[in-house]
Amino acid sequence: MIITNQFVVLNNPKTGSTFVRKVLRAIYEKRASTGIFNWTRRLFGISEERFKELVLPNIKRQNKVSDQHGTYSQIPDEYKGRPVVSVVRNPFDRLMSSYEFRHWERNPPIKGNLIKEYFPHFPNLSFNEHITLMGHSQREIHTGIEMGVQTIQFIQMFFTDPDTALENIDDD
């Protein structure tokens, strides 16, 4: 999650958010080092431009490892009134990127005993098996109706109270 004076950026995984963070960091670093900006800011009493990256526990994962992918429900109260910006990516491309990046191989999203049960040849998974693996990881979080992985991740990323929303979703 990135906090600026003007907005909050939520970094949805596998959407190009690393590139966005790199560009924003470069812009803010350049502005901070530009003499005319600093002189004008002081002259007119404009507050210092801020760029802050928050690393928070990943609520979408069972092990809650901290990362840069903060969610709407994790925005600190003092920043909740700011506009929220995020990057959107074609869902298929996002799944393909997740598969090719293979973060799931280094950090399995489900317990080892379940991986051995469902995927005996892990980590040698096909793309379809990867999608099934991601679905199993989400079922540990949500045990109600069948929903796609990306639908669950969207709710977790952008809802104010994702746990309650997931608990209350039904076929209707």
| Boundaries of domain holding 73 | 2-86
The span from the CA of 19 to the CA of 25, in Å, is: 10
Give yes or no: residues 70 and 102 share one domain: no
Give yes or no: residues 82 and 135 share one domain: no
User: pTM value?
Assistant: 0.74
Q: Is residue 166 part of a domain?
A: no
Size (the chain), residues: 172
Q: Is residue 127 part of a domain?
A: yes
The span from the CA of 59 to the CA of 69, in Å, is: 9
Give yes or no: residues 103 and 39 share one domain: no
Structure tokens at 79: 């920043």
Give yes or no: residues 122 and 134 share one domain: yes
Give yes or no: residues 62 and 117 share one domain: no
How many domains in the chain?
2
Per-residue tens of pLDDT for the chain, all 172 residues: 999 989 999 988 888 888 988 999 888 887 766 666 666 666 666 666 688 888 887 766 655 677 788 899 999 999 999 999 999 889 899 989 989 999 888 878 777 788 888 889 999 999 999 888 887 666 555 556 677 778 888 888 999 998 898 888 877 7
Give yes or no: residues 109 and 139 share one domain: yes
